[in-house]
Amino acid sequence: MSWRHLLHVVGAVVAAVGVSMLSAALVSVVYREWSDVAMITLAAAATVAIGLAMWRGFDRPGELTTREGFAAVGLAWTAMCLVGALPYLFTGSITNITNAVFETSAGFTTTGASVVPDPALLPHGIQFWRSLTQWIGGMGIIVLSVAILPLLGMGAVQLARAESPGPTPDRLTPRFSETAKRLWLIYVAFTAIEAALLWIGDMTLFEALNHSLTTLSTGGYSTNAGSMGAFSAYSQWIVIVFMVIAGASFSLHYRAVRNPRLYWKSAELRLYLAIMVIAATLIVIGTWGGGVLDVIRDAVFTTTSIITTTGYGTADFGLWAPALEIMIVGMMFIGGMAGSTSGSVKVYRLDVLYEASRSDVRRLIHPRGVFVTRVGKKAVPDTIVEAIQTFFLLYMFAFMTGTFLLAIIGSTGDPQLDMITTVSAVASSLGNVGPGLGLVGPTENYLVVPALGKWLLAALMIVGRLEILPILILFNPELWRR
Amino acid sequence: MRIIIVGAGAVGSYLAERFSLEGQDVVVIESDPEQAARVMAELDCMVITGNGASASTLEQAGLGEADLLVAVSSSDAVNVLACNAATKLGIPRKVARVEDPELKAEVEALGVDLVIDPGEAAARDLLVLVSTGRVSELVEFGEGKLVLLGAYVDAGSSVVGTTLAELRDEVEGWDWLVVAVVRHGKTMIARGSTQLEMGDHVLLITRADRTKGPYELLGLTDRPAEKVIILGGTRLARMTAELLAERRVATTLIESNPARCRAIAEALPDVVVVCGDPADPKMLQSEGIGNADAVLALTGWDGNNLLGCHVARALGAGEVIARFTNTELAGLLGGGSIDATVSSRLSAANEILRFVRRGKIHSAVTIPGSEAEALELEVGPRSPAIGKTLADLKLPRTLIIGGIQRAGDAFVPHGNTEIREGDHLIAVALPAGIPVAEKLSG
């Protein structure tokens, strides 16, 4: 395979990122932060220039094969997370390259782990850029470019497949570009509705817009150091509802606009909601005391925030009982539905894994029995079951290796990273959640992690967001052979 | 009555035989010349070789004067087209065989009176058999107050060697009556002097609330099956498994083709599908055939079904039922290791006969392996039988009346029971007796 084809695709994605920076410059214009306008525009110009140079300099691929698509997406996302750091560096909001790339990676991958102690002190344009990276990364920049620009040609479908979260991409229309348009339409619509509802409450328009961008993408960046804890109960409940929406499949949302009964028919949605209800109940029991309504709200908020991998905080769960902290780490491995903007393993895969293992147990009783793995009533083909089992194995392998490496790196830090910090930071980054426990708890930030550790976590975020394979394939020698 | 039958396959040729034995004008349309020649040689009917869906062939068959069209070819499309042509010509009654369940409602909307799927009909018959232990037939009459029961006489049974008259003397206040005995493929309407032999297929009529006596006599239990093993993955097997699973019966289906296993497992989540040879004793044992209440051998090959039944019986299965595509085998091989037989063509023919007889005769049921039919008929105001006792009627040896439903009550009649207007008579008749039965209704 020709690496020139890959670089052509990467160039297109980089250029698209550059163009999107201009909207951050526009925000700076509104707030009359003229030096930021200049610097962000400069960053945008540089990014677009790099992107166009690559795009024009390398041949356009005719049609991409599946593996080329995966590899291109893996490279493109890595490149995005590098060039997306330019606005932070140019405006001087974040001066250290490592920190800027970490912040960008946590943005595009919708992780929401931050190295900014108080986002409110950042210029408005940069605050907006932070939120926008999450919003773009949530639905996927390639899905976006397929929807708006025919920039990527024939290979776009392969690319979008590699970028879309979930094991089985769902088509709403015969043509993929039309499907992409509809998904973005519903994404934009939900974002607008949430922003309006938050604006009615105690948020300013700017805050409402930023929070809706990071809710629908299940990102979790806040404009406020206190995250959602700084806002009213009303705003928190609105955010809960929209986190649940963002963690559900967007193609399901689209279909359900015409036929709301489809929601109830989706076995995955029922399971997704059931998991959250059970988890929230356990947390309510575990944190019982004081104002009952506050306890319930904090429990529901934390559950939805972690399971949908958003990562906003209201309560400091770093102070909770050990059993609940272990539960929080466990919840980082769940995620929302396939086809949502959430990260982590996802309910569909967990259901398939459970059903497949149940079939294996039944096979002990009927050694020659034929057992079909199903989600709800729908049978899942064996090839997909195996792919999901492999995915889970790789996911856990990435988690174990990541934890081991961060533990080594963390021992050089000051203060040294303890066990719970290390484990939770890796689980949180890989699952695109955001906050961890211990030194990287919901009221802390990731500044404490040594530089090398930040690069590791940023890499894990991309691995988690792209669901491993697009990155793993880059290390496969067969890919690079002609 | 002129009857046109499209398709001389399993169902079509069987129906043609029955109707022509009754003396109806039967025209059969069959596209395969060999099959057409065979029907022509065996039956007293007109056979046209051609496409049953074509209007010109149907016209040649005299569709214009026909009273009934039975479209039972193996193709749904041909059957629907034939019915369509019949609708245009204003044929009063139409029956179509349609296997695709999605098409059923649409075909009914076309004005077809009865849409039948042989597999489904047989699956429903199997369900009845499975829910009553070791009974070969169970049909309800007279609003469910009377039942026709069938069972085989086992080697060790106490009734072997006794005549029906002796049996009747033994039991006091009998409210059941043996109506027919099928022996070596021949059906005899029961008489007092009939002696029962081992392997006889006995048909009796009893009050539905007094089945205990006859059950004990024939060594039957009426415990419904809780665990069923189905051998084979045919369409019939699949439909039966689905019906059983719906009724929460623990069902295991054994099929040798892996792709077919997968398809069935996908379609039926509550059925355990096992991939392997349905006659492999080791595997049957590992699936617990010894404590299965019923084993249904439903593969597509009669030989395999026979083998499967013998293996199942040898391994200690409860009720053993075989499906035979050859209807003659269905009659001959019952008894011994096989408690009951089914045949989708017989089940389908049964439903069609029931429909065709509708009118004076309320319902009609054929019995596998026997040319006899059980009929329920109403005594009309002009019936010659009104006011006469059964003995007075001097019925021929081809007809017997085994039950009467009168004003909300039902009973088994004696020789001196008087027939009244409005009675529903449950009769069992050989083909020659059917016109006599029809006369009784007036």
Share of chain B above pLDDT 70, in %: 95
Q: What pLDDT score was predicted for residue A108?
A: 95
Q: Which residue of A has its CA nearest to B252?
A: A369
Q: What distance lies between CA A298 and its chain's CA centroid? A: 22
Please report residues of B whose CB lies closer than 8 A to that of A361. none
Residue-wise burial string across B352-366, b where 16 or more C-beta atoms lie within 10 A, e elsewhere: bbbbbbeebbbbbbb
Contact (CB<8Å) B276/A371: no
Mean pLDDT for B226-255 is 91
List Cβ neighbours of A147 (8 Å cut-off, separation of 6 or more): A177, A180, A181, A183, A184
A159 has a pLDDT exceeding 80: no
For residues B28 and B2, is the Cβ–Cβ distance under 8 A? no
> Between the ranges A145-159, A303-317, B16-30, where is the mean pLDDT highest?
A303-317
Query: Residue A204 — very low, low, confident or very high, per pLDDT cuts 50/70/90?
Result: very high
For residues B51 and B73, is the Cβ–Cβ distance under 8 A? no
Dump pLDDT digits (tens) for A348-375: 999 999 999 999 998 888 888 899 998 8
Contact (CB<8Å) A370/B283: no
More confident residue, B335 or B248: B248
Q: Distance from B124 to chain A by nearest Cα, in Å?
A: 25
> Is CATH 2.60.40.10 the right assignment for the domain spanning B2-116?
no
Q: What distance lies between CA A320 and its chain's CA centroid? A: 26
Q: What is the largest CA-CA distance in chain A?
A: 73
Strand (E) positions, B114-191?
Answer: 114-116, 137-141, 146-152, 176-183, 186-189
Give the C-alpha separation, B441 to B359, whole Å.
10
Q: In CATH terms, are B2-116 and B352-440 the same topology?
A: no
Query: Residue B379 — very low, low, confident or very high, per pLDDT cuts 50/70/90?
Result: confident
Q: Which residues, in sequence order, are bridge partners of residue B250? A: B227
Share of chain B above pLDDT 90, in %: 13
Q: What pLDDT score was predicted for residue A170?
A: 63
Amino acid, res. A72: A
Say which range, A152-156, A384-388, B140-144, has the weakest mean pLDDT. A152-156
Order of strands, sheet of B46-49, starting from the edge strand that comes earlier in the sequence: B46-49, B25-30, B2-6, B68-71, B93-97, B114-116
- CA dist A223 → A130, A214, A262 (Å): 9, 10, 36
Give the C-alpha separation, A28 to A126, whole Å.
8
More confident residue, B270 or A169: B270
Amino acid, res. A66: T
Give the C-alpha separation, B30 to B57, whole Å.
10
Q: Which residue of B has its CA nearest to A376?
A: B269
Contact (CB<8Å) A370/B274: yes
Q: Distance from A381 to chain B by nearest Cα, in Å?
A: 10
Residue B11 main-chain phi, psi, to 5 deg: -70, -45
Contact (CB<8Å) B275/A368: yes
Q: Distance from B99 to chain A by nearest Cα, in Å?
A: 24
Please report residues of B whose CB lies closer than 8 A to that of A372. 262, 265-266, 269
Q: What pLDDT score was predicted for residue B222?
A: 66
Please report residues of A whose CB lies closer than 8 A to that of B262. 370, 372
Mean pLDDT for B361-374 is 76
Please report residues of B whose CB lies closer than 8 A to that of A368. 274-276, 283
Which helix (H) or strand (E) element contains residue A275? helix A267-286
Residue with tokens 């079509």: B12
CATH of domain B352-440: 3.30.70.1450
Contact (CB<8Å) B269/A372: yes
Closest CA to A219 of A367, A368, A108, A111: A111
Interface test with B, best of A364, A366, A374, A380 (most B CBs within 10 A): A366
Dump pLDDT digits (tens) for B307-330: 999 899 888 888 888 988 877 777
Domain coordinates of chain B in residue numbers? 2-116, 122-128+225-346, 136-217, 352-440
Mean pLDDT for B391-414 is 85
- Of how many residues is chain B composed? 442
A154 has a pLDDT exceeding 60: no
Provide the angle, in degrees to the nearest 10, between the axes of the packed helices A451-465 and A382-410: 170
Q: What pLDDT score was predicted for residue B175?
A: 77
Contact (CB<8Å) A366/B274: yes
Nearest CB partner across the interface for B275, out of A370, A372, A379: A370
Which helix (H) or strand (E) element contains residue A182? helix A176-200
Q: Which fold has domain B122-128+225-346?
A: Rossmann fold (3.40.50)
B387 has a pLDDT exceeding 70: yes
- CATH code matching the domain that covers B136-217, chosen among 3.30.230.10, 3.30.70.1450, 3.40.190.10, 3.50.50.60: 3.30.70.1450
List Cβ neighbours of A115 (8 Å cut-off, separation of 6 or more): A94, A99, A102, A103, A445, A446, A447, A454
Q: What pLDDT score was predicted for residue A152?
A: 59
Amino acid, res. B351: E
Structure tokens at A142: 């390639």
Nearest CB partner across the interface for B274, out of A368, A374, A379: A368
ipTM of the complex: 0.73
For residues B47 and B57, is the Cβ–Cβ distance under 8 A? no
Q: Which residue of A has its CA nearest to B262?
A: A370
